[in-house]
A and B are shown apart, each in its own frame.
Chain A
C-alpha cells in the first residue's frame, strides 16, 4: 500500500537508504529491551547512514529514548545487536563508544566554565593542551559563543546553554551525534531559529545525527528520515513527506498531522484506481500504487484537511464529494480549520488557507457546504479490524 515513488512535493538528492550498496553507519538488529516485565523496545530493526539526519518521533514512553540510550551505551539491549561501522558495540562501555549525546537537560557541569565543559571530553582522550584549546576555540566559533568561554553555565541564557551542550558533544568529533529532545527546553521562537541552525551545522559538519523528539514539526523540518515509534515498535520509517502523505497505518496517520478517517468497502480495483463505497459519502475513488485490497474488504481511508476543498455549491463530479453542515470554525491566522458535520455525525476537518485578508463570502456556523477532493487525496490505510 505504500508508495516507493517519492511522496510529497520535495525531492531530495540525499537518499543513501535507497542505494542497496550503501554501507549503514549504525544498524539496530532486532533490538529488544525489557525493564522487568515492561518492554520498552520490542524488536527494532533500523539502519542509519553516514551524513544522515534521522529523527525518532513518538509520544513519551514509546521507547525512543531507550533506543537512543542503547546506542550511547547507557542501556544494554536485552536481546539483539547494535552495529557501528559494521562492528557490534555490545559490551563496550559508554565512555569508549564513538558516539556523543546532547542531553535533554544539557547536563552542563555546573562547577566548570564553558571552555572547561567543552574541553572535558577532549581531556579524556589525552590530547595535548594546545590542541585542546584550539578545538575548544573552533567549536565555540561554530556555535557563535567565542566570547563566552570563561562564563559559568548558570550565567548563560537557555539558548546559549543549548549551544554549549551542542559544542561539547561535537568537540569530540563523534561518528554520530545523538540529540535527546534538543530543542525541548527552548521557547517557540528560539526553537524555530535553532532548528535551521542545527540543520545547517549538520550539513556543514557532514556528521550523522540521531534525534529523539515528540514534536512532529521539529522532526519534519529537520530530518532526512523519520522513524515513528509507537508502543515500543518502529511503526514506519520514511522521509517526512512519505510519513505525512503515505502513512502505512492508521496509528501513524493519526499521530502525524491532522486527518479524518472513514471506514469504507472496496467495490472495484481497476489499474491504479480503487473504488470504495461509504454509506454517507457514496463513492470514493482513489489512486494508489501499493498492493491493492481485494473487492469486498473493509478498509480505512484518510483525508488530510488541506486536501479538501470547501464550496457552497455542489461540485460537478459525483464522486469524492459530500454535503455537510459547518459545526465549528477555528481561526488560526494563516489558515482556518473548519469542522464539518456529515449526515451520519462524522466530523470532517477541513483546512482553508487564508489567502486574502477579507473573504467575499465568509463561512458561518450552520452553513450548508460541499466538500470535495482529488482522486490523489485519499490515503488508503490498513484494513479496518
Chain B
C-alpha cells in the first residue's frame, strides 16, 4: 500500500497481460465456429466434439497421462531419497559432488539428454516406447523433485526430529513419522511438477520413444508444423484448464499446510 504507486501497478498489469493475453487468445479461438483461426465466426464447441472422435489424439493423451503418472512417481521416490540424503549428509566433497550430479539434468540441454538416452536404449537393444519414455522422464524430473523437497526440508525445524528421537523413536521411525509427513507438501508439489513436466515434454520424448508410441506433445507438434488449427486450440485449452485446476488445488493444499506448520 505504502510505496505501491502507479508505476508499480503499470508494471504489474503490463507484465501479467504479456503472460496471459496469448493464452487468452488461444482459448478464445478454441470456441470459434470458423475454421480460420484469425476470423471470429461465432461461438461454437464443435472443435471439442471433433477432438472426441480423433482416436489418434485420444491414444496420445492416454499414453502421455500414463507416462506422466508413472515417471512422476518414480521421480518422486528417487528425488525424495536424494533430498533426504543431501539434507542429512555432512558438508564435504562427496555431498558437493552428489548435489552437482543431481542438479546436472536440470541444466543439461534437453536435446543432449534426449540424444544420450537414445544412444543408451539403442545400445541396450531395448524396444523403444512408453517404458523408455517413462525412464527418460523420470531421469529428467528427478532433480526438480529433489530441489522442491530439499527446499521444504531445509525449512523444517531440526529440533522436531531430535524431539522425536528423544521420545524414543528410532531414526527410521523419525523419518517415517516426522520428516516425511512434514515434507509432504513439498513431495506433493514435486510430484505435480514432475507430472506436468512429463506431460509437457516434446524433445526428450521424441528421442526416447519408438514408432509405436506417440505422446500428446508429439502429436500436437506435428499438427502445429502443418499450421494453426482450432482443434489444437481446443486440446490446448483442455490441457491448460487441467493443469491450472491441478496447480490451484495444490497451492490451496499447500497454503492450508502452511497455516498448520
A residues sitting closer than 8 Å to B (CB atoms) are 72-74, 93-96, 99-101, 103-105, 107, 109-111, 120-121, 124-125, 152, 154, 168-169, 172
Beta-carbon contact of B165 and A107 below 8 Å: no
Beta-carbon contact of A107 and B163 below 8 Å: yes
Beta-carbon contact of A100 and B167 below 8 Å: yes
Q: What 0/1 pattern do residues 168 to 191 of B give for CB contact below 8 A with A?
A: 111101100110011000000000
User: What chain A residues lie within 8 Å of B241 (beta carbons)?
Assistant: none
The one of A99, A107, A120 in contact with B159, judged by C-beta atoms closer than 8 angstroms, is: A107
Beta-carbon contact of A103 and B169 below 8 Å: no
Closest Cβ of chain A to B173, distance in Å, is 7
The one of A94, A152, A172 in contact with B165, judged by C-beta atoms closer than 8 angstroms, is: A94
User: Residue B81 at the A interface, CB < 8 A?
Assistant: no
Beta-carbon contact of B166 and A124 below 8 Å: no
Beta-carbon contact of A111 and B182 below 8 Å: yes
Query: Across the two chains, which residue of chain A brings its CB closest to B177?
Result: A120
Closest Cβ of chain A to B92, distance in Å, is 13
| A-B CB contact pairs (8 Å), 6 listed | A93-B165, A95-B168, A107-B157, A107-B163, A109-B178, A172-B168
In the complex, the number of residue pairs spanning A and B with C-beta atoms less than 8 Å apart equals 75
A95 to B178, CA, bound (A): 14
A94 to B168, CA, bound (A): 7
Query: Across the two chains, which residue of chain A brings its CB closest to B160?
Result: A107
User: What chain B residues lie within 8 Å of A93 (beta carbons)?
Assistant: 165, 170-171
User: What chain B residues lie within 8 Å of A94 (beta carbons)?
Assistant: 162, 165-166
Query: Across the two chains, which residue of chain B brings its CB closest to A94?
Result: B165
Given contacts A95-B168, A100-B166, A105-B159, 5 further A-B contacts (CB under 8 A): A93-B170, A95-B165, A95-B174, A107-B160, A121-B167
Beta-carbon contact of B159 and A121 below 8 Å: no
A172 to B166, CA, bound (A): 10
User: Residue B261 at the A interface, CB < 8 A?
Assistant: yes
Known: A109-B178, A111-B182, A124-B169. A103 touches B164 (CB 8 A): no
Known: A109-B178, A111-B182. A120 touches B164 (CB 8 A): yes
Beta-carbon contact of A95 and B166 below 8 Å: yes
Size of the chain B interface, CB-CB below 8 angstroms: 22
Closest Cβ of chain B to A58, distance in Å, is 20
Beta-carbon contact of B260 and A154 below 8 Å: yes
Beta-carbon contact of B173 and A124 below 8 Å: yes
User: What chain A residues lie within 8 Å of B171 (beta carbons)?
Assistant: 93, 95
Closest Cβ of chain A to B104, distance in Å, is 31
Beta-carbon contact of B167 and A110 below 8 Å: no
Most A CB within 10 A of own CB, among B167, B170, B173? B167
User: Residue B52 at the A interface, CB < 8 A?
Assistant: no
User: Residue B226 at the A interface, CB < 8 A?
Assistant: no
Query: Across the two chains, which residue of chain A brings its CB closest to B259?
Result: A154
Beta-carbon contact of B168 and A111 below 8 Å: no
B residues sitting closer than 8 Å to A (CB atoms) are 157, 159-160, 162-171, 173-174, 177-178, 181-182, 259-261
User: What chain A residues lie within 8 Å of B166 (beta carbons)?
Assistant: 72-74, 94-95, 99-101, 121, 169
A93 to B169, CA, bound (A): 10
Beta-carbon contact of A168 and B260 below 8 Å: no
Closest Cβ of chain A to B79, distance in Å, is 21
Beta-carbon contact of A105 and B169 below 8 Å: no
User: What chain A residues lie within 8 Å of B157 (beta carbons)?
Assistant: 105, 107
User: What chain B residues lie within 8 Å of A103 (beta carbons)?
Assistant: 159, 162-163
A244 to B144, CA, bound (A): 59
Closest Cβ of chain A to B66, distance in Å, is 32
Beta-carbon contact of A111 and B162 below 8 Å: no
The one of A72, A111, A169 in contact with B260, judged by C-beta atoms closer than 8 angstroms, is: A111
User: What chain A residues lie within 8 Å of B260 (beta carbons)?
Assistant: 110-111, 152, 154
A110 to B157, CA, bound (A): 10
Question: Across chains A and B, which 8 residue pairs bring their CB atoms closest together, nearest first?
Answer: A121-B167, A124-B168, A107-B163, A107-B159, A94-B165, A95-B165, A110-B261, A103-B159
Beta-carbon contact of A125 and B162 below 8 Å: no
A168 to B181, CA, bound (A): 20
User: What chain B residues lie within 8 Å of A101 (beta carbons)?
Assistant: 162-163, 166
Beta-carbon contact of A107 and B162 below 8 Å: yes
User: What chain B residues lie within 8 Å of A73 (beta carbons)?
Assistant: 165-166
Beta-carbon contact of A74 and B162 below 8 Å: yes
Most B CB within 10 A of own CB, among A74, A110, A152, A169? A110
Beta-carbon contact of A109 and B259 below 8 Å: no
Known: A105-B159, A154-B259. A110 touches B165 (CB 8 A): no
Most A CB within 10 A of own CB, among B162, B163, B165, B173? B163
Query: Across the two chains, which residue of chain B brings its CB closest to A126?
Result: B168
User: What chain A residues lie within 8 Å of B169 (beta carbons)?
Assistant: 95, 120-121, 124
User: What chain B residues lie within 8 Å of A96 (beta carbons)?
Assistant: 168
Beta-carbon contact of A110 and B168 below 8 Å: no
A96 to B174, CA, bound (A): 13
Beta-carbon contact of A109 and B162 below 8 Å: no
Query: Across the two chains, which residue of chain B brings its CB closest to A72?
Result: B166
Query: Across the two chains, which residue of chain A brings its CB closest to B167?
Result: A121
Closest Cβ of chain A to B176, distance in Å, is 12
User: What chain A residues lie within 8 Å of B178 (beta carbons)?
Assistant: 109
A103 to B157, CA, bound (A): 11
A172 to B160, CA, bound (A): 17
